[in-house]
């Protein structure tokens, strides 16, 4: 077994997972319309024909929330990043039936795409909803919320842009809240500087419902770039 001490620590494990023939057909037939070729795109928001505010969802899962937001906000351009092909396939199946011109998808590493394919100050909102909690202590270093990734997201957001993070893992929420509350570049939009009640825009996804069934509490945090 090879052991590379300099191997990059990622917040995900790239695996194909289970996907149906219908999902594969949707990817094959719709990717050219909705997929992003990151090799040839310096600033992804420029892909859209209409120049309007741009919102990004990192790790959109099956695309439930992303699809909902794009469908109900045609005056906003939406970009979704997801590495799991089954989730991408599910979203593209919906888009085959109900095309949305204000939505684009990337299947690459989110931080690499943000770093190299978005110009600074180009995004109005970034959503990170129910990221992999990596709940075992030895795996905590894989969590998406860390100083490096926060720095990247800060650069790409416009001034007064929002970073919305949600999780159903208490220690992940407490770590995120403490990290961003201490960072003077961000303003917590909660009046009590803790968690948001009834946050706007997002819907209750199957991942959130799964957490609720397990007895987990939901923690939403929205921070404004200042």
Instruction: pLDDT band for 2, please (50, 70, 90 cuts).
Output: very low
Please give the mean pLDDT across all residues of the chain.
90
Instruction: pLDDT band for 3, please (50, 70, 90 cuts).
Output: very low
The yes-or-no answer on residue 132 being catalytic is yes
User: Is pLDDT larger for residue 9 or for residue 213?
Assistant: 213
Instruction: List the catalytic residue out of 132, 151, 183, 194.
Output: 132
Q: Which residues pair with 162 in a beta bridge?
A: 125, 224
| Residue 125 φ/ψ, nearest 5 degrees | -145, 145
The pLDDT of residue 172 is: 94
Buried b or exposed e, range 153-179, using 16+ CB within 10 angstroms: bbbbbeeebbbbbbbbbeebbebbbee
Task: Supply the CATH classification number for the domain 21-225.
Answer: 3.40.50.150
pLDDT in tens, 107-134: 999 999 999 999 999 999 999 999 988 5
Buried b or exposed e, range 113-130, using 16+ CB within 10 angstroms: bbeebbeeebbbbbbbbb
Nearest Cα residue to 86 out of 20, 36, 34: 20
């Amino acid at each position: 077994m090879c052991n590379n001490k300099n191997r990059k620590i990622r917040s995900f494990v790239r695996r194909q997972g289970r996907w149906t023939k219908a999902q594969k057909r949707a990817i094959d037939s719709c990717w050219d319309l909705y997929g992003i070729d990151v090799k040839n795109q310096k600033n992804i928001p420029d892909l859209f024909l209409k120049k309007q505010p741009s919102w990004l969802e990192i790790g959109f899962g099956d695309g439930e929330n992303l699809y909902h937001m794009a469908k109900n906000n045609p005056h906003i351009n939406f970009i979704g990043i997801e590495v799991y092909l089954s989730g991408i396939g599910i979203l593209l199946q919906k888009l085959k039936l109900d095309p949305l011109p204000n939505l684009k998808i990337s299947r690459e590493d989110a931080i690499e795409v943000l770093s190299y394919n978005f110009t600074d100050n180009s995004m109005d909102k970034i959503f990170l909803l129910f990221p992999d909690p990596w709940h075992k202590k030895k795996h905590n270093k894989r969590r998406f919320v860390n100083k490096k990734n926060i720095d990247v997201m800060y650069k790409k957001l416009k001034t007064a842009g929002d970073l919305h993070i949600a999780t159903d893992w208490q220690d992940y929420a407490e770590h995120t809240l403490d990290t961003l509350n201490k960072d003077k570049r961000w303003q917590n939009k909660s009046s009590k500087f803790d968690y948001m009640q009834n946050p706007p825009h997002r819907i209750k996804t199957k991942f959130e419902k799964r957490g609720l069934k397990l007895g987990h509490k939901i923690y939403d945090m929205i921070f404004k770039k200042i």
